[in-house]
């Protein structure tokens, strides 16, 4: 380690390498329940050349490296589990340029996603991916986790907008993969491989993003339901009546009870679930779609339909939706948040499973989230710190797979879900993924322990 650090200190300005003191603790944890691990050093890189120099030194001396955006990972992705060095992108936070006419933006990885939204919109374009952490997470973290958000239903996820990447492999080689055009099929699709690879294959140093035309108007409708089982039939009815939703967010009965006082909505007592849905487009289409959506929802059994297109009401609603995660955190001594996905037609079965667990165990399982995509944030809440919730987590994942779903819709596997990867992927697939990892990172220095469970190298240095 000391040899690596002395090489790095020659390549970086003196204030860019932290090797001691309390400042290191700020890089020990993320937004998951994973226990903090203080790194031995933090490199605040400012350029691709600096990233390359840091990686060359760490690779030569076998020092683990964890890339870190804003540390909002829900699965321990940004926790330097094997110790070693953290690369932080806080000094690489420039939107380099936006070419609205060509539909692209070139950015550094440390740009906060909300800043990116604002820059792109002031250039007259639109970057749709909107993880609910957008005011703090970075685009580099979004690329590494293939982040999604409410608008994924209509617009897709981060991967759908990454045209090209500059990335640095473990030995310091700088690769430019992908392109600057929307179409292109030259060679293997390495962009897709790197997007969602959770910092285990390469360090992303520059991102070329596709941007689209900003919709002229947005209509927001709150559909009030008396039972969670009505969610899927209601969404189906909207779809079959030609209402193209850009998002459809569910609040189940538990989460609804938490936000009811803050959402600024007059809800009937019988309300047991809410769907927040949005349409967008030109103003007249939106007006017609809002009306059609309201009628269809009422015909399919909704208790009520509230239109929240007006700015402040809409913002209050989304603010309470974004704060749900924190509200749930306060509702119990312990909390785990999962992000499983099932085919939308199986949503009812997944929610029923959560209800049964809540009724028959000390673990409560409220669920909310991206219902239109079948992607639910199933939370596990419990109060007894001695309680082992692993069996409940495993049962949730087994049930998800049984329903034809997947373990993670957006948070990734990280450390927390690594033990469960074999529930979804066959030994042959995992073996192939490991061989791919070895091609990019033969000494396994990049984010060890993430995605593949038995690779963790605690106390390696």
Ligand X SMILES: Cc1cc2nc3c(=O)[nH]c(=O)nc-3n(C[C@H](O)[C@H](O)[C@H](O)COP(=O)(O)OP(=O)(O)OC[C@H]3O[C@@H](n4cnc5c(N)ncnc54)[C@H](O)[C@@H]3O)c2cc1C
Q: Is 432 helix (H, G, I), strand (E, B) or coil?
A: helix
DSSP string over 346-414: GHHHHHHHHHHHHHHSS-B--EEEEGGGTEEEEEEEES-TT---HHHHHHHHHHHHHTT-BSBSSS--T
Place of tokens 């373990």: 407
Q: Output 93 or 142, the one with its CB closest to ligand X.
A: 142
Rule CB under 6 A: say whether 410 interacts with ligand X.
yes
| Ranges within 312-371 binding ligand X (CB under 6 A) | 325
Tokens of 308: 């929240």
Give the shortest CB-110-to-ligand X separation in angstroms. Answer: 8
Window of 72-80, 97-105, 120-128, 343-351 that interacts with ligand X by CB under 6 A = 72-80
Rule CB under 6 A: say whether 170 interacts with ligand X.
no
| Ranges within 91-130 binding ligand X (CB under 6 A) | 109
Give the shortest CB-322-to-ligand X separation in angstroms. Answer: 7
Angle (CA) 269-274-276 rounded to 5° is 140
Q: Output 79 or 271, the one with its CB closest to ligand X.
A: 79
Q: Output 108 or 304, the one with its CB closest to ligand X.
A: 108
Rule CB under 6 A: say whether 448 interacts with ligand X.
no
> H-helix or E-strand containing 38?
none
Rule CB under 6 A: say whether 405 interacts with ligand X.
no
* Whole-angstrom distance, CA of residue 341 vs CA of residue 347: 9
* Whole-angstrom distance, CA of residue 440 vs CA of residue 36: 27
Rule CB under 6 A: say whether 153 interacts with ligand X.
no
Show the binding pattern over residues 201-240: x = contacts ligand X (CB under 6 A), - = does not.
Answer: --xx------------------------------------
Rule CB under 6 A: say whether 142 interacts with ligand X.
yes
In a 13 Å sphere around the CA of 30, the CA atoms on its Cβ side amount to 27
Place of tokens 């390469």: 202
CB distance 309 to 220 below 8 Å: yes
Give the residue among 89, 47, 34, 49 at the shortest CA–CA distance from 65.
89
Q: Output 206 or 304, the one with its CB closest to ligand X.
A: 206
Q: Output 74 or 272, the one with its CB closest to ligand X.
A: 74
CB distance 364 to 328 below 8 Å: no
Rule CB under 6 A: say whether 392 interacts with ligand X.
no
Show the binding pattern over residues 253-292: x = contacts ligand X (CB under 6 A), - = does not.
Answer: ----------------------------------------
Residue count (the chain): 461
Binding residues for ligand X, total number by CB under 6 A: 37
* Whole-angstrom distance, CA of residue 366 vs CA of residue 351: 9
* Whole-angstrom distance, CA of residue 362 vs CA of residue 207: 45
CB distance 342 to 374 below 8 Å: yes
Distance of CA 70 to the CA centre of its chain: 12
* Whole-angstrom distance, CA of residue 150 vs CA of residue 210: 19
Rule CB under 6 A: say whether 379 interacts with ligand X.
no
Rule CB under 6 A: say whether 147 interacts with ligand X.
yes
- In Å, what is the CA distance from 59 to each residue of 8, 63, 156, 271? 12, 6, 36, 57
Give the shortest CB-236-to-ligand X separation in angstroms. Answer: 24
Distance of CA 162 to the CA centre of its chain: 15
Of 52, 59, 73, 255, the one binding ligand X by CB under 6 A: 73
* Whole-angstrom distance, CA of residue 194 vs CA of residue 338: 23
Could you report how far apart the first and last alpha carbons of the chain are, in Å?
7
Give the shortest CB-139-to-ligand X separation in angstroms. Answer: 8
Q: Output 137 or 224, the one with its CB closest to ligand X.
A: 137
Rule CB under 6 A: say whether 67 interacts with ligand X.
yes
Of 8, 43, 44, 77, the one binding ligand X by CB under 6 A: 77
Of 29, 59, 93, 145, the one binding ligand X by CB under 6 A: 145
Give the shortest CB-445-to-ligand X separation in angstroms. Answer: 12
The footprint of ligand X (CB under 6 A) covers 30-31, 66-74, 77-78, 89, 109, 131-133, 137-138, 140-142, 144-145, 147-149, 198-199, 203-204, 325, 410-411, 447, 450
């Amino acid at each position: 380690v000391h040899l690596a650090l002395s090489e790095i200190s020659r390549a970086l300005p003196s204030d860019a390498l932290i090797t001691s003191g309390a400042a290191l603790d700020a890089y020990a944890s993320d937004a998951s329940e994973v226990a903090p691990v203080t790194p031995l050093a933090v490199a605040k890189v400012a350029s691709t050349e600096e990233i390359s120099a840091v990686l060359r030194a760490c690779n030569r001396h076998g020092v683990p490296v964890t890339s870190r955006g804003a540390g909002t990972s829900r699965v321990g992705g940004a926790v330097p589990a094997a110790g070693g060095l953290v690369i932080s992108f806080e000094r690489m936070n420039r939107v380099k340029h936006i070419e609205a006419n060509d539909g692209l933006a070139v950015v550094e990885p440390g740009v906060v996603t909300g800043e990116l939204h604002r820059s792109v919109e002031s250039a007259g374009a639109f970057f749709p991916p909107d993880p609910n952490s957008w005011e703090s997470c970075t685009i580099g973290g979004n690329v590494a986790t293939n982040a999604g958000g409410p608008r994924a239903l209509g617009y897709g996820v981060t991967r759908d907008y990454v045209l090209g990447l500059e990335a640095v492999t473990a030995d310091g080689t700088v690769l430019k993969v992908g392109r600057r055009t929307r179409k292109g099929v030259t060679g293997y699709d390495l962009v897709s491989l790197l997007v969602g690879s959770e910092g285990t294959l390469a360090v992303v140093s520059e991102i070329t993003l596709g941007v689209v035309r900003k919709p002229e108007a947005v209509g927001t409708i709150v559909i009030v339901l008396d039972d969670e089982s009505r969610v899927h039939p209601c969404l189906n009815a909207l779809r079959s009546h030609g209402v193209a939703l850009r998002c459809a967010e569910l609040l189940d009965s538990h989460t609804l009870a938490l936000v009811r006082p803050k959402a600024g909505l007059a809800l009937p007592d019988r309300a047991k679930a809410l769907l927040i849905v949005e349409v967008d487009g030109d103003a007249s289409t939106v007006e017609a779609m809002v009306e059609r959506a309201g009628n269809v929802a009422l015909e399919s059994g909704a208790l009520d339909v509230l239109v929240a297109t007006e700015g402040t009401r809409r913002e209050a609603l989304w603010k309470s939706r974004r704060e749900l995660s924190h509200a749930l955190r306060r509702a119990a001594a312990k909390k785990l948040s999962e992000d499983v996905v099932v085919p939308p037609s199986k949503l009812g079965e997944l929610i029923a499973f959560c209800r049964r667990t809540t009724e028959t165990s000390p673990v409560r399982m409220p669920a909310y989230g991206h219902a239109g995509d079948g992607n639910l944030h199933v939370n596990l809440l419990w109060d007894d710190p001695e309680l082992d919730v692993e069996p409940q987590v495993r049962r949730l994942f087994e049930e998800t797979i049984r329903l034809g779903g997947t373990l993670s819709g957006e948070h990734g596997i990280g450390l927390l879900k690594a033990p469960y990867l074999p529930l979804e992927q066959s030994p042959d697939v995992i073996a192939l993924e490991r061989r791919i990892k070895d091609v990019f990172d033969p000494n396994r220095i990049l984010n060890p322990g993430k995605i593949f469970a038995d690779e963790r190298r605690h106390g390696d240095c």
